Amino acid sequence: MLVKPIRLKLIACVLATLPLYSAASEWSYSGHNSPDHWAGLDANGDYATCAKGTHQSPIDIPSTSATHVKAASASLSINYQRSPLDVVNNGHSIQANVTGDNSLQFQGKTYKLVQFHFHSPSEHLYSGKRFPMEMHWVNQASDGSLLVVAAMIKSGDKNTQLEHIWSKMLPQKKGAHVQLSQEQAPDLGKILPSSSKHFFYKGSLTTPPCTEGVQWVLFEKLLELSPDQISAFQSVFTGNNRPAEAINQREIDED
C-alpha cells in the first residue's frame, strides 16, 4: 500500500527538478528570445557574457580610427582546399561542417577549419555600411582558441564555387543535412579573395554563449553572390544577424 504514494512522490520530485537540468531556452534573432534577451536565457548564467562582455562581436569597423599595422598580413596564411562537407540547417544558419586538412596560420599559431556558415544581412558593418550577407569561417587551434575569418558579400556575379552548395539545395528545414563528397564540394581555397587587405580585432562569438577571446580576421575585399543566390539563402534565413556591439577601448588593426 505504501509503494504507490512513494512512486508518485518520486515522480513529482523528478518533475520539479527538471527545469534545473534542462538546456537553455532556444535563442533566436526576434521576439522574446532575441539578442537583447540572450543573457537571461540560460538558467546557469552561461550566456551572461552576451550582456556583460566588453569585447563583443560583431562591430561597425570605423574607417578612420583603424590602426595601420604593417606586415600583419604577412603573418596570415590560409591553406584551404576541396574537402567533404556536411551541410546542415541548424535552425540559426546554413552551416557546412568541414573535414579534411584545411589549416590557417596567424601570428605563428596554426588553426584548423571546423565549419563555415552565413548570415543575412551582414553582422559586421564597414563605416556604417551593412551588406546583404556575411560568411564566417570558424577555425580552432589545438589549445581550443578560435579565429573567425569573415567576408562580406555583395550582390553581383554568380559565385561559381558556392553554387556547388546552393545547387544541392540549401537544407530548408531545421536539422536537415546535405552531404557533399570531395568531388561535389567547392574548392574552399578559391572562395576567399586571393588578394585583399584585412581588418584584425579581438572579439567574441556572435551567438550564445558569446564567448570572448576570439581573433577576428575580416577581408576588406567583398565576395559576390548573384541576386538569385542571395534570395535563395534568404528564402531559408533572413535576419540571422546580431546587432553591432560597442567597440569600447579595442584596437582595430589593418594591414
Which residue numbers are catalytic?
Answer: 92
Contact between 55 and Zn ion per CB under 5 A: no
Number of residues counted as binding Zn ion (CB under 5 A): 1
**Contacting range for Zn ion; rule: CB under 5 A; set: 14-22, 124-132, 135-143, 155-163:** 135-143
Q: How far is the CB of 106 from Zn ion (least distance, A)?
A: 18
Spell out the residues 6+ positions from residue 39 whose beta carbon is closer than 8 angstroms to its own. 47, 48, 49, 50, 51, 52
Under rule CB under 5 A, residue 136 binds Zn ion: yes
Which position's Cβ is nearest Zn ion? 136
DSSP string covering 132-178, please?
SEEEEEEEEETTS-EEEEEEEEEE-S--TTTHHHHTT----STT-EE
Task: Count, in order, helices (H) and strands (E) of the chain.
Answer: 4, 14
- Residues forming beta bridges with residue 175, ordered by sequence position: none
242 touching Zn ion, by CB under 5 A: no
Name which of 94, 134, 32, 131 is nearest 235 in CA terms.
94
Task: State the minimum distance, in angstroms, from the CB of residue 89 to Zn ion.
Answer: 14
Contact status: 124 vs Zn ion (CB under 5 A): no
CB of 117 to Zn ion, least distance (A): 5
- When the beta carbons of 136 and 198 are compared against Zn ion, the nearer one is 136
List interacting residues with Zn ion (CB under 5 A): 136
